[in-house]
Amino acid sequence: MASGEALTTSGYIVHHLTNLTVGHGFWTLHLDTLIVSGLLGLFAFLGMAKLASKATTGVPGKMQTLVEMLVSFIDQQVKDTYHGKSPLVTPMAITIFVWVLLMNAMDLIPVDFIPWVLSMGGVHFFKAVPTTDPNLTFGMSLTVFVTMIVMGFKVKGFGGFMHEVFTVPFGAKLAPVNLLFRLIEDVAKPISLSLRLFGNMYAGEMVFILIALLGLWQLPLALPWALFHILIITLQAFVFMMLTIVYMSMASESHG
């Protein structure tokens, strides 16, 4: 594509699944993932801040109503799921849902549009959907995991946390078994959290790419899949948020 030659079917798919990178080996950075996720995060932050500055106690506008409904909905989910006391959980849940939803929504942009625009500037590889990159989803899940561990120490104290690690669920006599089970459980959390989001979004992106290969025949399929995909991107943002809340709740609960 860089030289203008026609791509084969496999070449077309590989081209759309190749990241814009810099560096080599372990230190390779996926610039497209960093740029798009950063811009969307900044957009969400500035947009919410501007809306908050113009919020009124009178008759709210459409955007204020939408945001208030979203915040109220997420706050209720936190109240129903998280049984501890922390001012961090609700803002964290709101941030995760809005940010992941925006990143997922990039999948609704036609797969050839952004690469075509950037190719005119000499950029020939660019994945516009950050959540199809496992580096991003795993990075987010690790952040949630670290927050969960920190919250566990904060709520239970070092002694209480370590007591739970070595005595749950089989008691102190089986401390090594309890530790093994705890390690497996904790390692599984960030892996499953990241792969669930990545897998669903990657599969959705692949379907869009395959539909695009149909040329004019894609028209009867693209719109129905895009409409169905709206449900997927919203559901995946909701699932990531809810699992985060559940993990925070588990970190705050005591097992005696």
Active site residues: 192, 196, 200
* In contact, 155 and 89? CB cutoff 8 Å: no
* CB-CB neighbours of 197 under 10 Å: 26
How many angstroms separate the CA atoms of 240 and 238, rounded? 6
The tokens describing 77, both together, are 């989910």
Q: Which residue, among 136, 109, 119, 108, has the nearest Cα to 33 in the 3D structure?
A: 136
How many angstroms separate the CA atoms of 197 and 57, rounded? 37
Alpha helices in 213-256 (DSSP H): 219-252
CB-based contacts of 255, cutoff 8 Å, min separation 6: 164, 167, 168, 169
3-state secondary structure of 23: coil
How many angstroms separate the CA atoms of 45 and 47, rounded? 6
